[in-house]
Amino acid sequence: MLADFKFGIFSLLLSVITDAEIQDAPKEVKSIYLEFRRHCDEFIKITPEAIELADMYIKRGFLSKNYHNDALHISAATIAGADLLVSWNFKHIVHFEKIQGFNSVNMEMGYKPILIYSPMEVTRYGGKGN
């Protein structure tokens, strides 16, 4: 999958939230993340617009206040214009009903819908050799 980034098939966006969360990850995960950082095309900062959109996901009940960072992941990617958010978080992010909810808020607030997939789905359909 990293080879695909090098050939320009994907444009990789990372955020300050991911940087902060990776600090407590196992060494192997940090190593993979550092490779992603080397190929990052855009580093997303959290804007007032991203906070407002994340708060709206919470207000509408798609996430609780305890998962504000999860809401910020989605809102920051949405505001940055990402087409796809990739996450291992099946409870709060990669969840069919929640994705529909996030996108209903996105469209109501004037943003385009965002696709949300697990890494397995991305490598299965977008990986090298497929």
d(CA 56, CA 78): 13
Q: What's the pLDDT tens digit per position in 16-50?
A: 998 888 998 999 989 988 988 988 888 999 999 99
State phi, psi for 55 to the nearest 5 degrees: -65, -35
> With the C-alpha atoms ordered 20, 21, 25, 31, is the resulting torsion angle positive or negative?
negative
**Domain layout of the chain by residue ranges:** 2-126
pTM above 0.75, yes or no: yes
Question: If 0-12 CB within 10 Å is exposed, 13-18 middle and 19+ buried, where does residue 38 land?
Answer: exposed
Query: To which CATH superfamily is domain 2-126 assigned?
Result: 5'-nuclease (3.40.50.1010)
Confidence of residue 130 (pLDDT cuts 50, 70, 90): very low
The whole-number pLDDT of residue 96 equals 94
